């Protein structure tokens, strides 16, 4: 029984360490993540204005791809789904219509709200430990 308790405690300590590392990574990369959302916002606005260039479309597709690959790691699974949908939309070579631009703007707005609403210490709180900011 003692080995089971030690194993459980070791597992909790490992989970807490992983959570702290994810919190640190979130704080460190949050601004870059939000910059990618800004690229998506600009692309959606350009679609609505009917001025989207190939370079803007490609930048939006790349930004969405990177977000899709990143957000799930931070427990933002809905964000990953949104980013994948955006990525697929920007992969298309055809010019999207204004209605599509409005839809993409709405998806991007939801994505921004989700990212901005994720507190830095969410991983630690889920693991039942203090966030890095409160453990100093």
Whether 7 maps to a domain, the answer reads: yes
**pLDDT surpassing 90 at residue 54:** yes
- Written as one string, the DSSP assignment of 35-79 is HHHHHHHHHHHHHHTT---HHHHHHHHHHHHHHHHHGGGGT-HHH
Whether 132 maps to a domain, the answer reads: no
CATH number of the domain at 30, please.
Answer: 1.20.120
Whether 136 maps to a domain, the answer reads: no
Provide the residue range defining the domain that includes 20: 2-125
What's the total number of domains in the chain?
A: 1
Q: What is the mean pLDDT of residues 90-95?
A: 87
Confidence of residue 88 (pLDDT cuts 50, 70, 90): very high
Whether 22 maps to a domain, the answer reads: yes
Tokens standing for residue 93: 């070579």
Please tell me the pTM assigned to this model: 0.78
């Amino acid at each position: 029984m003692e080995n089971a308790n030690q194993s459980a405690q070791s597992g909790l300590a490992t989970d807490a360490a992983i959570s702290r590392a994810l919190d640190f990574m979130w704080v460190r990369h949050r601004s870059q993540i939000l910059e990618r959302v800004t690229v998506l916002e600009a692309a959606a606005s350009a679609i609505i204005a009917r001025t989207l260039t190939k370079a803007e479309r490609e930048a939006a597709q790349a930004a969405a791809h990177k977000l899709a690959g990143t957000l799930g790691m931070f427990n933002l699974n809905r964000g990953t789904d949104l980013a994948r949908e955006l990525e697929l939309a920007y992969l298309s070579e055809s010019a999207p219509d204004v209605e599509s631009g409005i839809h993409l703007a709405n998806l991007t707005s939801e994505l921004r709200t989700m990212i901005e609403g994720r507190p830095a210490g969410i991983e630690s709180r889920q693991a039942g430990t203090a966030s890095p900011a409160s453990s100093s």
